Structure formats: C-alpha cells, structure tokens
Amino acid sequence: MTVNSVKPAGDSAEYSSGALLELSKVTKRFGGLVAVQDVDLVIKPREIISVIGPNGAGKTTVFNLITGIYRPTTGNILLEGKSLVGDNPDQIVARGITRTFQNIRLFNNMTVLENVLVGQHTQLKAGLLGSLFRPPRVKQEEEAARKRALDLLTFFGTALLERQDEFVMNLSYAERRRVEIARALAANPKLLLLDEPTAGMNEAETLEAVKYVRRLRDELGLTILLIEHKLAVTMGISDRIAVLDYGRKIAEGLPEEVRRDERVIAAYLGKSARVDQEARE
Ligand SMILES: Nc1ncnc2c1ncn2[C@@H]1O[C@H](COP(=O)(O)OP(=O)(O)O)[C@@H](O)[C@H]1O
Ligand SMILES: [Mg+2]
C-alpha cells in the first residue's frame, strides 16, 4: 500500500453537516514554509464562495490540496462527508470536482472543440483498443461526446460555437478562459474551482465573466469556489468570502462583513506596504 492511499481517520459518520465540501484543520508545509495553516472551510451545495488574500497567502495551494495535486500535511478534506485525501487528481475529477488554472492551461495547438473533448476523458468508456479499431459503439460514444461538447460551448452563446474548429492559440484571452471553463464542465462536476477567472480581463470582459459565473450556479446548479483578486467582483458575486493571509484564514463572512473587517483591511494595506517596501529596495 502506498502512503498516498492511506486515508486519515475522521470521515463524518453520517454526513450530517450538509456540506458539499469541508476542509477541516488543513495544513500544508513545503519544507520549512507553512503555505496553508489550520484552515477550516465549509461549502454548501449551490454556494458561491470566494477565497481572497494577498499574493502568497496560500489560495492556489488550497485548490491544489482539494484537487489532489498535493496531499495535506495534516487535516482532512471531505466531499459529501467522505475524505478525498489520498485520491489522485483523476479520481477527484471523477468524484465531481474540476477546476480552471490561474495561468490558463489549454492545448494551444488543438481546436476549441478538441480541448473540451479532452475534459470528458474520465467519462468515456472506450479504452485504447476501442479508440484504435472504432467499433460502432465507440463511434456512438464519440458522437455523443461531440454533441455534449458543443452543448457546453453553447453555454457561452454562439461566439465559441462559431470558433469550435479554431486553434485555441488564435483566441482572445477572455475566450480561452471560457474554453477552459467549458472543459472543466465536460467532466460533469458538482463543484467547480475557478482560480482568478477574471485575471487579465478588461472591465467589459470582467462583467461578462461575473455573469457567467452566476449562471453556472443558477442554471447548472453548480457549487463554486473561486479565487479572485478584484474585490469589486468578489463582493458582488459571493455568498461568503474567506480571507487568507500567510496561510491562515483570518476572516470569513458575508461580503459586507468582510469588507469592514479590521484584519482584512490590515492584510490588504499591509500587503501594499510590503510591495512599497520591495519597490524601494
Ligand atoms: N510546490 C511548492 N513548493 C514550495 N513552496 C510552494 C509551493 N507551492 C506554493 N508554495 C509557496 O506557498 C505559499 C503560498 O503560495 P500560493 O498558494 O501559490 O499563494 P497564492 O495563490 O495565495 O498567491 C507561497 O509562499 C509559495 O511560494
Ligand atoms: Mg495563486
């Protein structure tokens, strides 16, 4: 048995909390650095929760822990009451958690449609032999996958649909972000993790992104955890906001509560003070 397959004790016996995802005292160390420390977080079905905090606060590490890229040093992460610690990233996708990345990760030399099809690979049954010899069953499965990929592109209106055969590298930045979300949807998630979905977008694109994040919840019934730097976006979109600073959760609450929180203001002001300091050095 490998170390990774050992689950920590503490699966909640009857899954009574109603949480879709629950982080319980999660800590991640990289050598001497504590990137995430004792973080608790509960996400209920159909919530939109934001994680904010200065650069280096541990936000992306939290995503990497939830998606199985890293294993918590201590603590537990439960999906619908069952630990996912020790599951590998593919297993976690299959259990219903998908993500987008802070720096978009698409296959640039593949088309829009092909990228979305890649997102369905955990759902397809045909193995290598099936794909090589393509019996009718496999062709049917491919056709269904294609149809579903096109449906997913339609979520973003006609623009991506019209560009389905375009190489991803020819798309605008905002369009690539949408393709990445379509790919994440292809695996049929319950929980979608979005790492800075409006980074690098202008104001109009940002407003558009806010609208579709809301539609992902309202129309597709998804639960969404997002990391977002633009405070106006976070405040407008979130049911609750958790604030990380130096790996610790320093505040959590409704947007208006978090906006007024002294520690949050200090963390943000503290950060700009640090940046000023670095700029002077
Ligand atoms: N694989 C890693 N190895 C060592 N240190 C890491 C690794 N990943 C993240 N870190 C460190 O952990 C801290 C938190 O990083 P990160 O989660 O990326 O922050 P954020 O997304 O909030 O900007 C940073 O100090 C970062 O350098
Ligand atoms: Mg990050």
Do both 222 and 247 map to the same domain?
A: yes
Whether 140 and 157 share a structural domain: yes
User: From the CA of 247, which ligand is nearest?
Assistant: 1
Sign of CA dihedral 105, 44, 94, 77: positive
21 touches 78 (CB < 8 A): yes
Last residue of a domain, one of 186, 210, 226: 186
* 268-to-36, 141, 163, 183, 188 alpha-carbon distances in Å: 18, 50, 40, 33, 36
Indicate whether 218 and 87 sit together in one domain: yes
Q: Does some domain include residue 12?
A: no
Do 194 and 275 have their domain in common? yes
Nearest-CA residue for ligand 1 atom 9 is 61
Q: Which residues pair with residue 28 across a beta bridge?
A: 36
Do 182 and 193 have their domain in common?
no
Question: What is the per-residue pLDDT for 16?
Answer: 61
Query: What is the band of 4 on the pLDDT scale with cuts at 50, 70, 90?
Result: very low
pLDDT value, residue 265: 84
Asked, for residue 242, whether it belongs to a domain, the answer is yes
Q: Quick one: average pLDDT of 30-39?
A: 97
| pLDDT number for residue 141 | 83
Mean pLDDT over 19-37 rounds to 97
171 belongs to a structural domain: yes
Q: What's the pLDDT tens digit per position in 184-212? A: 999 999 999 999 999 989 999 999 999 99
pLDDT in tens, 161-171: 999 999 999 99
CA distance linking residue 75 with residue 85, whole number of Å: 9
Continuous segment of H or E residues that includes residue 215: helix 203-218
Please state, for a pLDDT cut of 90, what percent of the chain lies above it: 70
Higher pLDDT, 95 or 229: 95
| Residue-averaged pLDDT of the chain | 88
Mutate to test the pocket of ligand 1, among 33, 66, 194 (most ligand atoms within 8 A of CB): 33
Burial class of 258 by CB neighbour count within 10 A (0 to 12, 13 to 18, 19+): buried
Among 68, 52, 92, 91, which residue's Cα sits nearest to residue 194?
A: 52
- Predicted confidence at residue 112, as pLDDT, reads 96
The residue among 186, 206, 222 that closes a domain is 186
* SS3 state at 155: coil
Radius of gyration (Cα) for the chain, nearest Å?
A: 20
Q: Quick check: is 11 in a domain? A: no
Q: What are phi and psi of 48, to 5 degrees?
A: -115, 110
Residues 141, 280 within the same domain: no
Question: What is the number of the ligand 1 atom nearest to the C-alpha of 58?
Answer: 17
Same domain, 72 and 204: yes
Q: What's the domain count of the chain?
A: 2
For the entire predicted model, the pTM comes to 0.86
Which residue, judged by its Cα, is nearest atom 6 of ligand 1? Answer: 30
Task: Say if residue 174 is in the same domain as residue 193.
Answer: no
Same domain, 143 and 267: no
> Residue with the nearest Cα to atom 11 of ligand 1?
35
At 238-267, the pLDDT tens digits run: 999 999 999 999 999 999 999 888 888 887
pLDDT given for residue 106 in this prediction: 93
Q: What is the model's pLDDT at position 13?
A: 45
Ligand closest to CA 64: 1
Which pLDDT tens digit goes with each residue over 93-142? 999 999 999 888 999 999 999 999 988 876 655 555 556 667 788 788 88
Residues at CB less than 6 angstroms from ligand 1 = 30, 33, 35, 53, 55-61
Q: What is the pLDDT of residue 128?
A: 54
Q: How far is the CA of 158 from the centre of ligand 1 (A)?
A: 38
According to DSSP, the β-strands at 223-227 and 191-195 are: parallel
Give the residue among 147, 155, 211 at the shortest CA–CA distance from 181.
Answer: 155
Distance from residue 56's CA to the centre of ligand 2 (Å): 7
The whole-angstrom separation of Cα 264 and Cα 147 is: 46
pLDDT > 50? residue 221: yes
Q: Are residues 166 and 217 in the same domain?
A: no
Of 125, 160, 186, the residue at which a domain comes to its end is 186
Tell me which of 27, 28, 30 to substitute to probe ligand 1's pocket, judged by most ligand atoms within 8 Å of the beta carbon: 30
Domain of 193? Answer: 17-96+189-281
pLDDT > 60? residue 151: yes
Whether residues 213 and 127 share a domain: the answer is: no
- What pLDDT, on the 0 to 100 scale, is given for residue 64? 97
